Amino acid sequence: MTDATHPRDRGTDGGGTNGGGAGSGDTAGGGAPRPQESNVDADFAQYAGDLRKAEKKVAGEIDPGARALVVAVAVLVAMLSLILPHTGSASGIEVLTNAPDAKAELVTITSKVFVYLLTIFGIGASMLALLTRRWFIAWVALCGNAIACVAGMLAWWSRNTPGVGNVQPPSGVGIGLILGWLAVLVLTFHWARVVWARSTYHLALEEERRKEAAARDAHALSLQRKHDSRDLGDTD
């Protein structure tokens, strides 16, 4: 009798133990996320932050490609125009410094403004944009060269038009003024293409970020719904 009761008792005890183990396993499976999954999520979040920083840095840069050579040549032409005659015997540098030859040639304010814009934006800003590859500097160079185009046209017009009191300019347009104006026209065109291409990239990048944010929100909402439904099942 004693031996007959022992297998049943052992079976009962084993079943209870196994049942308790199964219950423990269900509790562990339905509880908090596993430590390994949490570590993976933390690592992914860290890498995502680094990727966003790198993406932001790249988004602020430009890649002119073959246009860089054209811009460099246009900058050299702009520099050359400063040492060539702007009008008469006055060179662009003399107009820039308001030298006696520039005064003798009755250089107007339009020519001075053009030479200043050519020096600051056509040479300075364009060189800086090529060296740093920053989108903002390229945008500044574009705006300055676009204004220089208008100033160059007015400077050309002023050398062929009598001034106040019907005073005729002693000399007409020099080769330096012509080359400088052509240089800013080329720079304006190419910087516009570079800036526009980067602006289009920015818009596409923002659209992609919005889609990624919407996908993350939808994923988080689905996880929250699964968690809520699991809690309701455990309560029942």
State residue 29's pLDDT score. 43
Which comes out higher in pLDDT, residue 46 or 162?
162
**pTM, to two decimals:** 0.64
State residue 74's pLDDT score. 96
Neighbouring C-beta atoms of residue 30, cutoff 10 Å: 12
* Highest mean pLDDT: which range of 50-54, 89-93, 232-236: 89-93
Which comes out higher in pLDDT, residue 146 or 108?
146
* Residue 75 placed within a domain: yes
Percent of the chain with pLDDT over 70: 62
Q: What single string gives the DSSP state of each residue in 9-76?
A: HHHHHHHHHHHHHHHHHHHHHHSSPPHHHHHHHHHHHHHHHHHHHHHHHHHTB---TTHHHHHHHHHH
From residue 177, alpha-carbon distances to 54, 160, 162, 184, 188 in Å are: 43, 13, 18, 11, 17
Average pLDDT for the chain: 76
* Residue 146 placed within a domain: yes
* Residue 27 placed within a domain: no
| Range scoring the smallest mean pLDDT among 6-15, 37-46, 82-91, 150-159 | 6-15
* Residue 31 placed within a domain: no
State residue 69's pLDDT score. 94
Total domain count, the chain? 1
pLDDT > 80? residue 231: no
* Residue 71 placed within a domain: yes
* Residue 13 placed within a domain: no
Look at residues 186, 86, 205 and name the one whose alpha carbon lies nearest to residue 146.
186
State residue 50's pLDDT score. 61
* Residue 222 placed within a domain: no
For residue 94, give its domain range. Answer: 65-162+171-214
* Residue 5 placed within a domain: no
